[in-house]
Amino acid sequence: MKLKNLILAYTYLLFIPIGFAQIVNSGTLKINASTTVYFGDEYTNKTGATHNNDGDLYLNSNFINNGTTVATAGTTYFVSATNAIQTISGSTNNINFYNLQLNLSAVGKKGVSVVDNFGLFVKNSVSLLSGDLRLVGEAQLIQTHTGITANTNSDPGKLLRDQQGIASTYGYNFWSSPVNNGGTFSFTGNLFDGTDSSINSFAPQQIAFSTGSPYNGTPSVLDGSSNVVTPLKISTDWLYKYSRGAASGYASWVALTSISTLSPGEGYTMKGSGTVSSSQNYVFKGVPNDGTYTFSITSGESSLLGNPYPSALDCTKFINDNLSVVTTLYFWVDGGSTSHYLSDYLGGYATRNLTGGTPPSLASSLIGGLGTSSSVTGPSQYMAVGQGFFVEAVGTGTITFDNSQRVFQTEGSGASTYYKTSSGNEDNTKSKGDTARNRGNSFIRIGYEDPEGFHRQLLLGFLPESPADINYNPGYDALMSDEREDELFYIIENDFTKKYVIQGVGAFDINDEFPLGLKISQEGQHTIMLDTIENIDGVVVFLKDKELRRVYDLSTSNFKFDFPAGEYLNRFSLVFKSLQSLGEEDFVLNNEINVYYNKNKGIVINNQGGLQLDNVFVFNTLGQKITQVKNNLLNQSEIIIPFNQKQGMYLVVVSSEKGTETYKIIN
């Protein structure tokens, strides 16, 4: 049966498609308010067609949407008496209903399955009277009404939605449930084993629990057909929530049990099952979270929260809605922990604010599957289903989640991210989903690596349409949350007590200068580098050393150094002017040779470019020669000259195959 340009305005209309395999709309189908329509066979809304339902539509089979769907009233009912599973699918990857109700009566009924990577938009309520609503893979449910939830906890049917977490028994994930039972989430009753979801989509088994030594979870036991015979176990020793408290207060961690309850939007920690797979799949099963959820918080307190919805959450919208109390989101990323001892944990916090995202500081060797550290660029604008995160309150007030923050963005598109481990958490900054890039914003990412190989990335964002400027801007500048002993950071407004990992300003200005702080605890090779430049053409990034009156072109090569331990808070900055336009005669551009003083070693000449050196002279400020070195200069990347002169400024003159150059040092 084909419906073309058909408007239904009858109180009751029954289609009996005798001899037809399906019902197809190839034009405009309008079901008016107070109109009831029954479709007995599979219904397809074709490409270019419009399905406009303000009445009540009863479906006995599948709904395939390849066109446009509109709904401002009415209800779409899935009520099959003959099909155990009805499906929602289509090439548009989305569908719109006003109200949705499931009330299947078929023998062996299971429910309605929404195919992978599909957005199910419901303006008002979801009612699951009989049968479950299964979101397969990256399918998401987005309800768009305002106010409190329109769903009911009395429905026997449930929503089922997968999410993958860390496999390791030693590594943490921060979680948050997209479903509830009776208004709260509990591990017993809402969290299920998803190991065999691909073959038992509607029938996951309740996860089991263990406690005590060896403090590890265990993986599922499968039969020969990959069905779960014995469900996975989770160690309850690592189930915690973080009750409002100081950012570093371990007393604020609250232990949870298998029957503990959490409110929608509360976050929790959980370690993995030890499965040999790259990740562990779980199924959340319950009433879909919907509507507004609020949390009170006091300035200076931290809280572990999470995305409460079975859809992605727009981080930018969430921060803007809560800007008076929350300016930055922090996501824990495991770095390959192999022990339960706190001192052995590997990992750190990825950071997201209105400017963009940065990854945690992790050793390059731990960032598997992504090549180099610079390929990891932190959380995207869209937070995945089930993702937990930390906030630190900048003001006293209420944190609010609501439906306006919900979006349909899948992890597979690169637009949303669920943080499991350091492997596979790359933010695709070129994704169409990142509106910051689409607005013409541009970014510079500076990398710093300490002698242990831990890589810290700093983000500098230029946002022409934002209110941000060179000073501190709430929501655009983000403090570092997991400070290491060796760090590079932004200094804003000359406040040396604060270390920023993200700085957002207005439009790019070649005259701007961005101060950097450097903290060193150990000697060895430290490196400052340019990770990436995004959406800026023809810009050269220089590292300016105000003490030695030198600049280094990070666009050409990395700056490697071995400074004495200490803090360097007023020495370095990022600048963008060329050598000729610096306006200071003493500044020299040279990346191939780096000369500095180390109190434990003496004068260090770092010959990064492998130049052939002929002579090295050291003079005091009166022009008197202190020492000369001309032997053993060939094929050495680092030359050390013992130096025990009194404190002051000295000149180091290096003669190389490219000529003679003078460097200033202060001992």
Looking at 557, 591, 625, which one is the last position of a domain?
591
**Least reliable range by pLDDT among 50-54, 220-224, 306-310, 652-656:** 652-656
Query: Higher model confidence: residue 493 or residue 611?
Result: 493
Note whether 445 and 585 are same-domain residues. Answer: yes
Query: Residue 610's domain is classified under what CATH number?
Result: 2.60.40
Return d(Cα 309, Cα 401) in angstroms, integer: 9
Looking at 96, 123, 157, which one is the last position of a domain?
157
**Residues ≥6 apart with Cβ < 8 Å to 465:** 439, 440, 441
Rounded to an integer, what is the distance from CA 476 to the centroid of its chain?
16
Q: What is the dihedral of CA 514, 520, 526, 531, to 10 degrees?
A: -40
Note whether 464 and 543 are same-domain residues. Answer: yes
User: Amino acid identity of 200?
Assistant: N
**Least reliable range by pLDDT among 68-82, 558-572, 649-663:** 649-663
Residue 134 domain-assigned (yes or no): yes
* Structure-block tokens of residue 364: 């390059």
Residue 183 domain-assigned (yes or no): no
Q: Which residue has the tokens 């052995």?
A: 344
Residue 618 domain-assigned (yes or no): yes
* pLDDT over 80 (residue 618): yes
Burial letters 272-284, b for 16+ CB under 10 A, else e: bbbbeeebbbbbb
Note whether 540 and 660 are same-domain residues. Answer: no
**pLDDT for 584:** 54
488-500 mean pLDDT:
96
Note whether 125 and 98 are same-domain residues. Answer: yes
**pLDDT for 245:** 64
User: Amino acid identity of 322?
Assistant: N
Note whether 617 and 530 are same-domain residues. Answer: no
Strands (E), 223-299: 228-230, 233-235, 240-242, 245-246, 253-255, 261-262, 268-271, 279-288, 293-297
* pLDDT over 60 (residue 17): no
Q: What is the pTM of this model?
A: 0.86
Residue 531 domain-assigned (yes or no): yes
298-302 mean pLDDT:
93
**pLDDT for 434:** 47
Residue 204 domain-assigned (yes or no): no
Strand 602-607 and strand 593-598: the pairing is: antiparallel
Its domain, for residue 660, covers 598-666
Residue 351 domain-assigned (yes or no): no
Burial letters 325-335, b for 16+ CB under 10 A, else e: bbbbbbbbbbb
Note whether 532 and 657 are same-domain residues. Answer: no
Note whether 25 and 89 are same-domain residues. Answer: yes
Mean pLDDT across the chain: 88
Note whether 505 and 547 are same-domain residues. Answer: yes
Residue 645 domain-assigned (yes or no): yes
pLDDT band at 637 (very low <50, low <70, confident <90, very high): confident
* pLDDT over 70 (residue 195): yes
Across 373-382, 466-475, 599-608, the highest mean pLDDT is recorded for 466-475
* pLDDT over 50 (residue 13): no
Query: Higher model confidence: residue 375 or residue 292?
Result: 292
Query: Higher model confidence: residue 375 or residue 371?
Result: 375
* pLDDT over 50 (residue 11): no
Name the residue among 489, 249, 187, 503 with its Cα closest to residue 390.
249
Name the residue among 562, 574, 566, 551 with its Cα closest to residue 518.
566
* Structure-block tokens of residue 63: 């709904």
Note whether 575 and 607 are same-domain residues. Answer: no
- Phi–psi pair at 448, nearest 5 degrees: -135, 130
Note whether 107 and 146 are same-domain residues. Answer: yes
Looking at 591, 617, 643, which one is the last position of a domain?
591
Neighbours of 496 (CB within 10 A): 11
Q: Which residue has the tokens 């900048």?
A: 394
268-273 mean pLDDT:
96
Return d(Cα 273, Cα 261) in angstroms, integer: 21
**pLDDT for 248:** 53
Note whether 461 and 553 are same-domain residues. Answer: yes
Q: State which H helix or E strand residue 444 sits in.
A: strand 442-449
**Residues ≥6 apart with Cβ < 8 Å to 215:** 235, 237, 238, 340
Instruction: Classify 117 in phi/psi space as left (phi over 0), alpha (psi -120 to 50) or beta.
Output: left
* pLDDT over 50 (residue 427): no
* pLDDT over 70 (residue 12): no
Neighbours of 372 (CB within 10 A): 11
pLDDT band at 367 (very low <50, low <70, confident <90, very high): very low
**Least reliable range by pLDDT among 66-75, 230-239, 607-616:** 607-616
Q: How many domains does the chain have?
A: 3
* pLDDT over 70 (residue 270): yes
Note whether 455 and 525 are same-domain residues. Answer: yes
Residue 311 domain-assigned (yes or no): no
* pLDDT over 50 (residue 110): yes
**pLDDT for 90:** 98
* pLDDT over 90 (residue 450): yes
133-141 mean pLDDT:
98
The answer to whether 117 and 138 have CB atoms below 8 angstroms apart is yes
**pLDDT for 426:** 38
**pLDDT for 440:** 85
* pLDDT over 60 (residue 432): no
